[in-house]
Amino acid sequence: MKLMFFSGIIMSLFILTACKGDAQLHEVKPAEFESLIHDTTVQLLDVRTAEEYQADHLAYSMQADWTRKDEFEKRTASLNKTKPVYLYCLSGGRSAAAAEWLNKKGFTTYNLQGGINAWKQEHKPIVQFEKVAPISLAEYVSRIPSDKTVLVDIGATWCPPCKKMNPQIDSLAAVHSNDFVLLKIDGGAQTELCAQLKATEFPTFIVYKGGKESWRKTGEMDIKDIAAQL
């Protein structure tokens, strides 16, 4: 009897723990998902590949490829755990796995049921990148004045750490506008230039002095570290 009693308690605790672990797993249909992501400050994550994202995506979404675990972990490290994260992929499988991983990290997640395929079937709005003129390496170099300190910020609108760093970079440039020149490069559009500059991770910050590169660092960082290099 005692064994059955304790077995019952253990089973109850197991079920309770399992339910608690699943409490943050929310599968949401397109109509409800649309109502949840109307705010431009929402943490909306497209976990497909960069190529898929560039073909079409949801407005205000950031991109982190779930199949590239190192990239995914780095990009999501800058997300705010006090705010929910909304995820989607092509049909819902990858984003569900990503949501489960984020839940274990302490995030509350909402997954788009059926992915962007279901979203399109209900004629919800999508965004496609407009083609932009490529910047050649020669043109890039011509934008680096030899008589001034230059901070190059290579990022992308869909990059979570870039989105977090952007206001800080803009504030630094506004306060010290006479001390250095800020040059922003859209790494999502200028893929060839990024390859030539070996800027494979976003954001990448490069400081030029006297027309020559003097410092480089990637990823989210303390703005004071950048200011110290300027």
Are 161 and 202 in contact, with CB atoms under 8 Å apart?
yes
Task: Give the model's pLDDT for residue 195.
Answer: 92
Q: Last residue of some domain: 68, 93, 121?
A: 121
Q: How confident is the model at residue 129 (pLDDT cuts 50, 70, 90)?
A: confident
Task: Give the model's pLDDT for residue 24.
Answer: 62
Secondary structure (3-state) at 96:
helix
Rounded mean pLDDT of 81-105? 96
Strands 109-112 and 150-155: unpaired
C-alpha dihedral (134, 88, 79, 169), degrees to nearest 10: 20
Q: Are residues 113 and 177 in the same domain?
A: no
Above pLDDT 90, what percent of the chain? 75
Q: Are residues 211 and 164 in the same domain?
A: yes
Bridge partners of 182, per DSSP, are 151
Q: What is the CATH number of the domain that holds 210?
A: 3.40.30.10
Rounded mean pLDDT of 14-37? 71
Q: Are residues 113 and 167 in the same domain?
A: no
Are 66 and 72 in contact, with CB atoms under 8 Å apart?
yes
18 is a domain residue: no
Q: What are phi and psi of 40, to 5 degrees?
A: -70, -15
- Tell me: pLDDT of 23 over 50: no
Task: Give the model's pLDDT for residue 97.
Answer: 97
Rounded mean pLDDT of 42-66? 94
128 is a domain residue: no
Number of domains in the chain: 2
Strand order in the sheet with 212-218: 181-186, 150-155, 204-209, 212-218
Q: Are residues 78 and 168 in the same domain?
A: no
Q: Are residues 39 and 91 in the same domain?
A: yes
Active site residues: 159, 162
147-196 pLDDT tens trace: 999 999 999 888 888 988 999 999 999 999 899 999 999 998 898 999 99
